[in-house]
A and B are shown apart, each in its own frame.
Chain A
Amino acid sequence: MTPYKYFIHLSILLCLASCSPSDKPADSNKPDPQPEYPTPPEQTKEANVFIIDFFSTLEDEGNFFISRDAGVAADYIKAQSGKRSIVYMFDRADYQISEEQAATKIAYQVSAFPYFAQSAAAKAETIPGTAMVTRYPISDYDGIAKEGTYLSGCTIQLPITLTDKLCVATSYIPDEKAAERIFLEKKVRLLSDMMIVGTVPAESAGAVQEYFESMSLRVHRLGSSQTVKDLIVVLPASYVCRNIESGKKVNLPYYRIYIEKWM
């Protein structure tokens, strides 16, 4: 082989090597590290914003209402004016089998509809979960209960200009594996018309956020070094979380989440 031919062969080999899909992960199931979604405009369109109130201590202290009055929550809901929340969520409003539930009581007091999203199996007398109260009559609830992972929520016709139906779901997502299970089960809806407002243990929060973002979902997270859990908001790319305000009604801490459908 002449040096000229050797150089030609080497060039072809190098060219082929550079064209091979070596920059793609070998395992196509692995998340793409670069989230791909369009950027929403900086300017918020108020007419397309809706609110969700999430009551939580972000601690692991058991039933939220054990030392708090459901009547205070009902007063808070009744006192709202102007743009009101579409769903009020009460993290760890645990359910005692066959006992009166906080959400049903609150919903009855404010002429709304109750729902309870479990976050663990119904094996014990007490089932941990999130209570939901909404003024919208719900006929479609969607979710999963699979291998210890739970997610569920109610589908609501959003009161915004860009009218759309959205399933507002909640979940306690213990780790990345649970996040993956949720995504694989509800992929189509999560990418289009399902959002999650839930909690995640502080130590897994980064990995869970990274996983959902790698699946082209928009993630917002709020927590502190003082809390055991982080609040997590997972949205399809056509929605954006504009703000999360924290507040307190008597001894009921809450997070007011402003979400805009921008596309």
Chain B
Amino acid sequence: MRTIGKKLWLAALFCIAPLLKMGAQDISIRVMSMNIKEGASYADNESEPYAQIIKDYDPDFVCLQEVDYKTIRNGGRDWLNEVAIKSGMFPYYCKSFTYQGGGFGTAILSKYPFFKAQKTIFSASGTREDRASGWVYVELPSGAIVRVATTHLSLETADLTTKHIASVNSAIFAEDTTTPTLLIGDFNATPDSDPIKYAKIKWQEIAPGSGNTIPSSGPNRQLDYVMGFPKQWSWTRYEILPYPELSDHCFVLADLVFNAN
């Protein structure tokens, strides 16, 4: 009886599999990760130098971390909107917590309009602050739909960082387990650490071993990653971009391809 049941399941899966794949199409995009260090403090909170880099590299998506919204320390600037205006991209701000009369969090800039966006906040005892991760859904010019997420994981202990990844996973995949997805940002964990090993159960690390990302003046550790889901991504370019005058983290640039079949 069990064998017949198993065979029926396999037959059903065989029939359903092509249908599940129907929605996915090949994708080719350029992404960047930018941890801008405490609201762009290295550049006196100016938006121009970051906007110029974005314009120079012309990415489809930029995943940002440590973005201030109208805080005292950034002079009450709407930094993200300034970069969005200068780069001609669509902004999505994910506030982690209220800070100095404004906000502190993560953000995404998208070259194409997004039709859906959500965020999740990780709040756990033992962390010094809440952390927001957010994602946008975009229909690319090819007609393919991609989901791009930005994250800035907790750093207090490896256990908390792992719990944070689990929390992001359950939020991202709560309603949708089929759309090709990228999770990009500052994971606050090195490649051989337990959190990254845990992340790689669900996610594919893009260009593993491609280089250290911090400190930008002489990188000796990797904390910034580009991860893909499902594990059908490849890359044609992956660059670590050190701008020590703009951040303690190097920025990351990647040209990615999702192979639907």
Residues of A at the B interface (CB closer than 8 Å) are 95-101, 104-105, 107-108, 111, 113-118, 121-123, 127, 129, 137, 139-145, 150-152
11 residue pairs A–B, Cβ–Cβ below 8 Å? A97-B112, A100-B86, A101-B84, A104-B90, A107-B81, A113-B93, A114-B84, A114-B90, A139-B94, A139-B119, A152-B116
Q: Which residues of A contact B103 (CB under 8 A)?
A: 137
Q: From B8-16, B134-142, B202-210, B250-258, give the one contacting chain A.
A: B134-142
Alpha-carbon distance A96/B139, docked complex (angstroms): 16
Q: Which residues of A contact B81 (CB under 8 A)?
A: 104, 107-108, 114
Alpha-carbon distance A152/B119, docked complex (angstroms): 16
B139 close to A145 (CB less than 8 A): yes
Q: How far is the CB of A98 from chain B (nearest CB, A)?
A: 4
B90 close to A97 (CB less than 8 A): no
B85 close to A150 (CB less than 8 A): no
Q: Which residues of B contact A95 (CB under 8 A)?
A: 113
Size bracket, chain B contacts: 35 or more
A97 close to B111 (CB less than 8 A): yes
A100 close to B139 (CB less than 8 A): no
Q: How far is the CB of A117 from chain B (nearest CB, A)?
A: 7
CB of B26 closer than 8 Å to a CB of A: no
Q: Which residues of A contact B145 (CB under 8 A)?
A: 145
Q: Please pick, from A122, A140, A141, A143, the residue contacting B141 in the complex, using a CB distance under 8 A.
A: A122
Q: How far is the CB of B211 from chain A (nearest CB, A)?
A: 28
Smallest CB gap from B103: residue in A: A137
Q: Which residues of A contact B117 (CB under 8 A)?
A: 139-141
Alpha-carbon distance A141/B118, docked complex (angstroms): 6
Alpha-carbon distance A97/B87, docked complex (angstroms): 10
Q: Please pick, from B86, B89, B114, the residue contacting A141 in the complex, using a CB distance under 8 A.
A: B114
Q: Please pick, from A98, A108, A121, A152, the residue contacting B87 in the complex, using a CB distance under 8 A.
A: A98
Given contacts A95-B113, A143-B115, A143-B116, contact A137 B78 (CB under 8 A): no
The 9 closest A-B pairs by CB, nearest first: A143-B115, A98-B88, A145-B139, A141-B117, A152-B115, A118-B113, A122-B112, A139-B119, A145-B115
Q: How far is the CB of B65 from chain A (nearest CB, A)?
A: 16
Alpha-carbon distance A105/B82, docked complex (angstroms): 9
Given contacts A121-B141, A122-B140, A139-B118, contact A116 B85 (CB under 8 A): no
